[in-house]
């Protein structure tokens, strides 16, 4: 406690009182989220098992998921691009720590997957391969949920698995690491 | 002091709810428009500053995403205020005064519609004693309106007149959300929604964005034939606790106006754009600023016609600047407010080329 200046006798009177160390003030606000034109189109594509990106008219980079603008040039990304369901692991991490709400068994692998023809990596899980065999340059393909479970959610891609192709050379994706 | 001018201004149409576009898609068109109007791209901007709050959209760091509409590569000098864009303008003005920038892009935007706005705004209150009680924004404004009526600052009839005049003025503003109004005596027959406020006393809930370019000295003259000079600007804040404030006065506005070179006893004001979301607040601000009948008040319709949170204050400055640039007046006062019951106030004096 700091040396608060209190009226005489107050400190003694409060000697046995438990100090207030915190208060709970629950707050809840509900919002209607607007994904936007570009993201809505992407999410509807996912429901149809399509991966839809957009190309910047200035730098020609392909963004997926698209947000409607090129963050580099600040212009609308108006050209629509459908991407294949294959790509390369540009970077990854092995998760060894259990945390609250976790549904995965550890260890498991999270990775950034650069789709063929894209300039922005998608985030996902890599499975059907031992965790210690995952590596940069690994060629992977999307494993989707069953068709009747497809929805407007990236979780419609359950995970990525190796295609068995030779690894991509570092030079081919170094710009995206 | 360097002379700093507003050289360009753009705003989006202000609407009740933008259903299709995200924040970047909402902001990007005004950013392009304002730059194109003076023929420069982002490489011609020395400093970029925005005003917004993530509480409105309910998305953490959504303000960072709005930079995707700016063109932030190669890396730019940039800042953000969790406030109305008018305060982003202030930061940009200071930056230019320091000599660190000659041009600045300023923008403010808000989607007020995704949440229950009157409840969202309660999160800016004292987190220990006030916010847990969830006093809503309209209710707090009503407390101030009651105090102003009791103090003789205004009357329900004058408030209805302010509402009608504002929304009729907005009929000439293609960006306004509410245009036109019933006569004041008709408005006064409506029920009170938070006594003494009636619906017409309250601002609409608005989604929208605005952007502006500032430039110093000769750079301003090079960019436009009609620079509008910021002759003075200041902002002041009052106590957080509503109970220690006199809600029938606005000392922060008074001092800001004095420091900006406006207020009673200064040169005549042709146009005043006052950020008064509630009708009684216009009456209070007019009193404090000493504005009389010679001044055209809120020819745009003001915040009663469109009140995009975090943009409406910047829009006041932009609207006033556009009218000065168009020769509709020689001298304008623009005002922006933030917080409950006019807690914080910014006053800006604008003049055309001498």
Q: pLDDT band for position A6 (50/70/90)?
A: confident
Measured from the Cβ of residue B94, the count of other Cβ atoms closer than 10 Å reads 16
Tell me phi and psi for residue B208, to 5 degrees: 180, 175
pLDDT of residue A9: 84
pLDDT of residue A106: 87
Going by C-alpha positions, the residue among B5, B1, B3, B2 that lies closest to residue B318 is: B5
Query: Rounded to 5 degrees, what angle do the CA atoms B57, B62, B64 make?
Result: 155
Tell me what percent of the residues of chain A surpass a pLDDT of 70: 98
pLDDT of residue A2: 57
| CATH, domain range A85-177 | 2.40.50
**Residue A20 has what DSSP assignment?**
P
pLDDT in tens, A18-39: 888 999 989 999 999 899 999 9
Residue B343 structure tokens: 């807690």
Contacts of A135 (CB under 8 A, 6+ apart): A89, A92, A167
Q: Could you tell me the residue ranges of all domains in chain B?
A: 4-115+205-223
Q: From CA B211, how far away is CA B347, in angstroms rounded?
A: 18
pLDDT of residue A4: 65
Q: From CA B244, how far away is CA A65, in angstroms rounded?
A: 50
**Residue B11 has what DSSP assignment?**
E
Residue with tokens 């925005």: B50
How many CB pairs (< 8 A) connect A and B?
87
**Contact: A69, B115; criterion CB under 8 Å:** no
**Residue B42 has what DSSP assignment?**
G
Give the nearest chain A residue to B127 (CA atoms): A25
Give the nearest chain A residue to B126 (CA atoms): A25
Q: Which of A25, A38, A40 shows the shortest C-beta gap to B131? A: A25
**Contact: B18, A37; criterion CB under 8 Å:** no
What does R_g of chain A's alpha carbons equal in angstroms? 25
Residue spans of alpha helices (H) in B66-194: 85-98, 117-120, 137-150, 156-169, 184-187
Q: From CA A53, how far away is CA A55, in angstroms rounded?
A: 7
pLDDT in single tens digits along all 354 residues of chain B: 999 999 999 999 999 999 999 999 999 999 999 999 999 999 999 999 999 999 998 888 888 889 999 999 999 999 999 999 999 999 999 999 999 999 999 999 999 999 999 999 999 999 999 999 999 999 999 999 999 999 999 999 999 999 999 999 999 999 999 999 999 999 999 999 999 999 999 999 999 999 999 999 999 999 999 999 999 999 999 999 999 999 999 999 999 999 999 988 888 999 999 999 999 999 999 999 999 999 999 999 999 999 999 999 999 999 999 999 999 999 999 999 999 999 999 999 999 987
Residues belonging to chain A with any Cβ–Cβ distance to chain B shorter than 8 Å: 23, 25, 27, 29-40, 67-76
Measured from the Cβ of residue B330, the count of other Cβ atoms closer than 10 Å reads 15
pLDDT of residue B59: 86
Q: Could you tell me the residue ranges of all domains in chain A?
A: 33-83, 85-177
Mean pLDDT value of segment A67-74? 94
Average pLDDT, whole number, for chain A?
93
What does R_g of chain B's alpha carbons equal in angstroms? 19
Q: From CA B239, how far away is CA B344, in angstroms rounded?
A: 9
Q: Which of B22, B42, B132 shows the shortest C-beta gap to A34? A: B22
Q: Which of the residues A24, A29, A40, A70 would you substitute to probe the B interface, choosing the one with the greatest number of B C-beta atoms within 10 Å?
A: A29
Rounded to a whole number, what is the distance in Å from the CA of A134 to chain B's nearest CA? 32
The helix (run of H) or strand (run of E) holding residue B37 is: helix B23-37
Answer whether B299's CB lies under 8 Å from B316's CB: no
Q: From CA B133, how far away is CA B122, in angstroms rounded?
A: 9
Question: Collapsing DSSP states into helix, strand and coil, what is residue B211?
Answer: strand
Q: Which residues of chain A does B110 touch, with a Cβ-Cβ cutoff of 8 Å?
A: none
Q: Which of A34, A67, A75 shows the shortest C-beta gap to B19? A: A34
Q: From CA A106, how far away is CA A162, in angstroms rounded?
A: 19
HSE of A3 in the Cβ direction (CA atoms, 13 Å)? Answer: 0
Q: Which residues of chain B does A38 touch, with a Cβ-Cβ cutoff of 8 Å?
A: 22, 25
> What is the topology classification, in CATH, of domain B4-115+205-223?
Peroxisomal Thiolase; Chain A, domain 1 (3.40.47)
Q: From CA B238, how far away is CA A45, in angstroms rounded?
A: 51
């Amino acid at each position: 406690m700091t040396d608060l200046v209190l009226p005489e006798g107050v400190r003694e009177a409060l000697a046995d009182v438990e100090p207030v160390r915190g208060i709970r003030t629950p707050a809840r606000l509900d919002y209607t989220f607007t994904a936007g034109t570009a993201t809505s189109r992407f999410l509807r594509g996912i429901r149809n098992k399509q991966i839809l990106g957009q190309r910047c008219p200035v730098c020609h980079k392909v963004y997926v998921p698209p947000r409607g603008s090129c963050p580099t040039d600040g212009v609308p990304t108006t050209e629509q691009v459908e991407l294949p369901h294959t790509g390369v692991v540009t970077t990854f991490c092995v998760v060894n720590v259990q945390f609250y709400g976790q549904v995965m068994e550890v260890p498991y692998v999270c990775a950034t997957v650069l789709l063929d023809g894209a300039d922005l990596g998608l985030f996902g899980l890599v499975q059907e391969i031992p965790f210690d065999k995952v590596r940069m340059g690994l060629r992977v393909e999307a494993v989707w949920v069953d068709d009747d479970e497809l929805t407007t959610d990236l979780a419609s891609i359950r995970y990525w698995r190796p295609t068995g192709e030779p690894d991509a050379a570092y030079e081919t994706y170094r710009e995206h690491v | 002091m360097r002379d700093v001018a507003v050289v360009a201004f753009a705003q989006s149409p202000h609407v009740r709810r933008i259903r299709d576009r995200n924040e970047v898609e909402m902001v990007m068109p005004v950013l392009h428009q304002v730059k194109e109007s003076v023929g420069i791209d982002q490489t011609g901007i020395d400093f970029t500053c925005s005003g917004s709050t993530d509480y409105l959209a309910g998305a953490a760091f959504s303000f960072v995403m709005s930079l995707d509409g700016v063109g932030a590569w190669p890396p730019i000098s940039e800042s953000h205020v969790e406030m109305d864009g008018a305060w982003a303008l202030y930061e940009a003005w200071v930056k230019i005064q320091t000599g660190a920038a000659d041009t600045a892009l300023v923008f403010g935007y808000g989607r007020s519609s995704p949440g229950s706005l009157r409840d969202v705004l309660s999160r800016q209150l004292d987190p220990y004693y006030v916010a847990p009680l969830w006093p809503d924004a309209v209710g707090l404004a009503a407390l101030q309106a009651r105090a102003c009526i009791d103090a003789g600052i205004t009357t329900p009839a004058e408030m209805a007149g302010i509402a009608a005049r504002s929304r009729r003025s907005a009929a000439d503003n293609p960006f306004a959300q509410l245009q036109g109004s019933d006569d004041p005596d008709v408005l006064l027959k409506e029920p009170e929604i938070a006594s003494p406020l009636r619906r017409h006393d309250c601002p609409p809930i608005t989604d929208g964005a605005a952007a502006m370019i500032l430039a110093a000295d000769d750079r301003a003259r090079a960019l436009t034939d009609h620079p509008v000079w910021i002759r003075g600007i200041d902002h002041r804040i009052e106590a957080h606790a509503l109970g220690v404030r006199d809600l029938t006065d606005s000392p922060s506005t008074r001092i800001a106006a004095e420091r900006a070179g406006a207020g009673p006893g200064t040169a005549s004001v042709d146009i005043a754009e006052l950020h008064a979301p509630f009708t009684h607040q216009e009456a209070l601000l007019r009193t404090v600023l000493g504005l009389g009948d010679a001044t055209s008040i809120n020819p745009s319709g003001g915040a009663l016609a469109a009140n995009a949170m975090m943009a409406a204050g910047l829009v006041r400055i932009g609207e006033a600047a556009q009218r000065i640039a168009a020769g509709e007046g020689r001298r304008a006062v623009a005002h922006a407010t933030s917080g409950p019951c006019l807690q914080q106030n910014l006053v800006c004096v604008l003049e055309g080329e001498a």
